[in-house]
Amino acid sequence: MKSFRLACTVNGERVEREVVSSRSLLEFIREDLGLKGTKEGCGEGECGACMVLVDGKAVNSCLMMAVQLHGKDLVTIEGIKGKAGGLHPLQKTFMAEGAVQCGFCTPGLIVASEALLRRKPRATLEDIKLELTGNLCRCTGYEKVLSAVEKARDEKNA
């Protein structure tokens, strides 16, 4: 199997690793980097539990190959932090609003919401709903998830 010298940034740190060409980005994150906060829910890009930021955009890491990360910037849930290094505003609003139940979809939802608010700081409720259709949650009925993202948006713009 062909292997490749992969150089990228992971949560702000420079990383170089040998990866085989068949390795998915999700496997690279969970198995090679040992970052277990990124979850596998379906393995085919339907549920969003494995979402990470690649160059600031939310991607399903199960659908991207690790080698495609070469020269790029990866942020996983472990790298989503507040300005002072504590909890990120989205993490705080998810907790305060009660948007976390079983929690398996939560890292993906926070990553997807962060990508949206970076791209569109004044995203409307409809924008948020549309953006998060790729993140399945079976527990919450989404109400508290949407209000958590709205609260974080409002705090960001305040």
Partner 1 sequence: MKRTGKTMEKLSYVGKSMPRKDAEIKAVGSARYAADRDFAGMLYAAAVRSPRPHIRIDGISDAKARKVPGYAALVTYKDIKGVNKWPVVMQDYPFLPEKEARFAGETVALVVAASEKAARRAAALVELRYKELPFVEDPLEALEKGAPRVHGEDNVFSTYRIKNGSVDEAFRKAAYTVEGEFSTNYQVHAYLETQGAIAVPEPGGGMTVHSTTQCPFYVIDAVAAALAQPYHKIKILQTVTGGGFGGKEDVPALVASHAAICAAKVGRPVRLIYGRKEDFQSMSKRHPGWARVAYAADKSGRITACRVKYVLDGGAYSTLSPIVLWRGTVHAAGPYKVPNVDIRTYAAATNKVPCGAFRGFGQPQISFAQESLIDELAAKVGMDPLKFRLKNLLKPGDRTVTGQKLNSSCGLAEIAQAVRRRSGWDRKWKSPSVKGDVASGIGFSVAYYGVGLGAGGRYLDRAGAMVNIYKDSSVGVSVGNTEMGQGALTVLAQIAAETLNAPYAAVRVEEVDSSKVPDSGPTVASRTTLMSGNAIIDAATPLRERIFKTAYDLLLAEGADASLPMVAANGVFRMGAKSVEFKKVVSGCWSRRLKMCEQGWYTAPRTSFKNEDGQGDAYVIYSYSADAAEVDVDLRTGVLKVRKVWAAYDVGRIVNPGLAMGQAQGGILQGMSWAVYENLVYKNGIMVNPNFTDYVIATTADKPEYDITFIEKPYAEGPYKAKGMGEVPLIGVAPAVANAVRNACGARVRSVPLLPEKIWKEIRKG
> Can you tell me which of 9, 17, 32, 40 binds partner 1, judged by CB under 8 A?
40
- Site for partner 1, residues 93 to 152, rule: CB under 8 A: 94-96, 98, 100-107, 110, 128-130, 132-146
Six-digit token pair at 71?
Answer: 């020269």
- H/E segment holding residue 157: helix 143-157
| Contact call for residue 7 and partner 1 (CB under 8 A) | no
Find all residues with CB under 8 Å of 102, minimum gap 6, and list them: 138, 139
Q: Least distance from C-beta 141 to partner 1, angstroms? A: 3
Q: How far apart are CA 15 and CA 33, in angstroms?
A: 9
Whether the Cβ atoms of residue 60 and residue 118 lie closer than 8 Å to each other:
no
Binding site residues, partner 1, CB under 8 A: 35-44, 46-47, 49, 76-78, 80, 87, 91, 94-96, 98, 100-107, 110, 128-130, 132-146
